[in-house]
Amino acid sequence: MPGKKEQASAENPEKLNDLHVTEIEKWAVGAPAIISSIKDVVQEPGVIRGVKGLLKMNQKDGFDCPSCAWPDPDDDRHTIAEYCENGVKALAEEATTKKLTAQFFAEHSVADLANLSDMEIGKLGRLTQPMHLPYGSTHYQPITWDDAFQKIGEHLNALPSPHEAVFYTSGRTSNEASFVYQLFVRELGTNNFPDCSNMCHEASGTSLSQTVGLGKGTVRLNDFYDTDAIIIIGQNPGTNAPRMLSALEKGKKSGAKIIAINPLPEAGLMGFKNPQKVRGFLFSPVKLADLYLQVKINEDLALLKAIEKLLYEAEKITPGEVFDHDFIKKNTVGYDSLIEHLESCNPDTLAQTAGVPLEQVQQVVDIIKHKKRIIWVWGMGITQHRNGVDTINEIVNLALLKGSVGKPGAGLCPVRGHSNVQGNRTLMIWERPKQEQLDKLKSVFGFEPPREPGYDVVDSIKAMNNGNVKVFFGMGGNFLSATPDTGYTAEALRKLKLTVNVSTKLNRSHLVHGEESIILPTLSRSDKDIVNDELQFVSTENSMGVVQLSKGMLDPVAKNLLNETQIVCRLAKATLGKRTVIDWDGYANSYDKVRDDIEKVIPGFNDYNKRVRQPGGFYLPNGPREGKFNSVKFSGKASFTINKLSKRTLESDEYLMASIRSHDQFNTTIYGLEDRYRGVNNERRVLFMNEKDMKKDGFAAGDRVDLFSYYDGVERCARLFIIVPYNIPEQNTATYYPETNVLMSINSVDPESNMPAAKSIVIKVKPHHSKQKQ
């Protein structure tokens, strides 16, 4: 049996699959996406159950896709297929008819299950009843719901301080569940709310709050359909948000220029075959990117500054024709300081730092210098760096210079990951709530909420490891596999008295646990949720601020599963007892009552129950979208910022590694072993490497290597990867996560957002040596 750290890091194998490398695709979707989707539906829920779910997914009277947060069209939703390949796979994964019963856990120890890969664990089936791993036990055992809540409550009440518990949230948690969850935890007495935003777009929220006054994007989906330019930077839409491709196609058709900036030339940036149109099958793909810039990993800030500098030079030649001075004067502060900074910038040096020819930078400037309707799109290729906030600040600088915020066809678009991650934050899942938010809770409910900031993800892991946290409660997600520094995080979890996970399926976070562990099975997004013989619905917020209902349509795989809202309410009663002032039974029996109280606390939710029942839901207020700015430091104004370039020098034997998604996964959920757009089949433990680097270091395609990082003086190792030659900048490499999260130090974070730097990990590559030979 592997040692503890090997179990924690999704296996360090001595054996690999038979890797098959094919040609890199130059376009995304088309017939292969449909074939792959059908295969997953047939294998998991079956044709009848699968089709029934697909007919209602992302429809106005159906359920929200459990995958990404890309918005549904306001008007022209397709009657049959308003979903993508990723959405189909996500539905197939949760709608499977495979079940994990008490008998399964009796036959399989935790150690046996830990030997499986993350994909194998996820394919086992749906959880069907609460399970408990007693102290010292090797097998999970069944436990009743009441006994589970009682035991969790006893652990929480035994803590000397409520701050010794942390309450994690995954992006799939509904608005209703998020609200009652934060209400319970704050009545308990802590703001310890680590959540998945801390690892994906915390940098976006931090930057946008400081610069434009709202930590969300400013565009609507319709803006993509009629704009002058779309600049996509650090985002791979073909894999991470495939439905975005339809919006890009519409924008292209209306005359928009598309500029793609990314270290890897991803298929979804280059071309698109729309599977909902005949020509998507019969003809050549629609060309998307008019210009592709292959920037070095984490040198986007230098590139953005080079673009700014050349725009400024153009502005000096034709004053008032490049920069929007009316917008700048009316809506911003800090312009003169920015111009003074740009005077000192050298575009040649900046372009060289970015690894992009200056001629290409000039091409970007030529495309956008006389345009004001520009949409800036970014993803985790921008946020997951130690300078993530600074880079987004620079994107905002460019948008403000062009007056490209607060008007149709223009704005800022961070592409969120999970389907309600933005709604979680709106509903106060946040370790640093604003004082006015806490004042509102006190006014409405009558208890004094905690005022001191709580722990985010990184701080939670450190607090677990140093003994300041004793209980972990996870509302969805796969905390261990999603977080940095896998070995360190596993050690932290093992030091706890109790770990609890609310889940639909088994994952590695159930297998690396505290002294005791409890699994609480919950309904999925597509499951019917019936309370008091009435079919319920919940609501979510997409990445463009639309709140809409989500009503499951499939029969659950087990009769005694509970919705997350029900779980929170019953746990709150068991924990708080007579000292609570909240009507938990009222919430459990009526999600309408939850929404009524959300309306009293959260701005923008007026007439919540009425408006959420309207087809398509409603938009939340968005000041910057309406040209109203309220940056952190300057009320009523958006703020330009001065952002310094980070200095990093790689030694000759070092590489900068970005961890990325395979096309066959969503976040930590692994659907399969095929990354067809990048030509990688039947294996995940691969290292994408520039051929010049391979030759320099004496490597060849197919060589087996071990990866090492040495951040903060600690050697971390991920063993046994296969080198795949790839079109990637020199001294840059890429791997799939979570396999290489073990290389990411808990201390390598953006200083402003405290986000882990998952896409800029300095590594060394060495020939593989098996453990038996060491």
Residue 479: which of 508, 455, 506, 505 has the closest Cα?
508
Cα-Cα-Cα-Cα dihedral sign, residues 573, 578, 580, 584? positive
Residue 380: which of 570, 241, 249, 192 has the closest Cα?
241
**Region 728-754: what's the mean pLDDT?**
97
C-alpha 539/C-alpha 610 separation (Å) is: 12
Of 8-12, 295-299, 470-474, the one with minimum mean pLDDT is 8-12
User: Which pLDDT does position 459 carry in this prediction?
Assistant: 98
User: Which pLDDT does position 278 carry in this prediction?
Assistant: 73
Residue 155, pLDDT > 60, answer: yes
Of 10-19, 294-303, 511-520, 632-641, the one with minimum mean pLDDT is 10-19
With cut-offs at 50, 70 and 90, classify the pLDDT of residue 1.
Answer: very low
pLDDT tens-digit readout, 35-67: 888 888 888 888 899 888 888 888 888 888 888
C-alpha 667/C-alpha 180 separation (Å) is: 25
C-alpha 705/C-alpha 689 separation (Å) is: 12
Residue 548, pLDDT > 60, answer: yes
Q: What share of the chain is helix, strand, coil (3-state, %, to 5)?
A: 40, 20, 45
**Region 471-498: what's the mean pLDDT?**
97
Residue 309 corresponds to which tokens in the numbers above? 């500098």
Residue 165: which of 150, 173, 176, 154 has the closest Cα?
154
Count CB-CB contacts under 10 A for residue 451.
Answer: 10
Residue type, 568: V
Q: Are 44 and 95 in contact (CB under 8 A)?
A: yes
pLDDT tens-digit readout, 382-416: 999 999 999 999 999 999 999 999 999 999 999 98
Residue 513: which of 522, 503, 523 has the closest Cα?
503
Residue 335: which of 402, 387, 389 has the closest Cα?
402
User: Which pLDDT does position 33 carry in this prediction?
Assistant: 83
**Can you tell me which residue has the tokens 């130690």?**
386
C-alpha 3/C-alpha 413 separation (Å) is: 43
The rounded Cα 760 to chain-centroid distance in angstroms is 17
With cut-offs at 50, 70 and 90, classify the pLDDT of residue 80.
Answer: low
> ∠ CA 318-324-327 to the nearest 5 degrees?
155
pLDDT tens-digit readout, 288-332: 999 999 999 999 999 999 999 999 999 999 999 999 999 999 999
Check whether the bond before 130 is cis (ω within 30° of 0): no
**Region 206-220: what's the mean pLDDT?**
96
Residue type, 104: F
Residue 81, pLDDT > 80, answer: no
Count CB-CB contacts under 10 A for residue 716.
Answer: 24
The DSSP output letter for 70 is: P
Side-chain half-sphere CA neighbours of 737 within 13 A: 28
Is residue 244 helix, strand or coil? helix
Is residue 280 helix, strand or coil? helix
Q: Are 655 and 743 in contact (CB under 8 A)?
A: no
**Region 462-484: what's the mean pLDDT?**
97
The rounded Cα 189 to chain-centroid distance in angstroms is 28
Residue 82, pLDDT > 80, answer: no
Side-chain half-sphere CA neighbours of 215 within 13 A: 20
N residues, the chain:
774
C-alpha 650/C-alpha 294 separation (Å) is: 19
Helix H or strand E encompassing 657: strand 655-660
User: Which pLDDT does position 5 carry in this prediction?
Assistant: 36
C-alpha 35/C-alpha 88 separation (Å) is: 11
Tell me the DSSP string of 183-220: HHHHHHT-----BTHHHHTHHHHHHHHHHTS-SS----
Residue 112 makes CB contacts below 8 A (sequence gap 6+) with none
pLDDT tens-digit readout, 608-652: 999 999 999 999 999 999 999 987 677 789 999 999 998 888 999
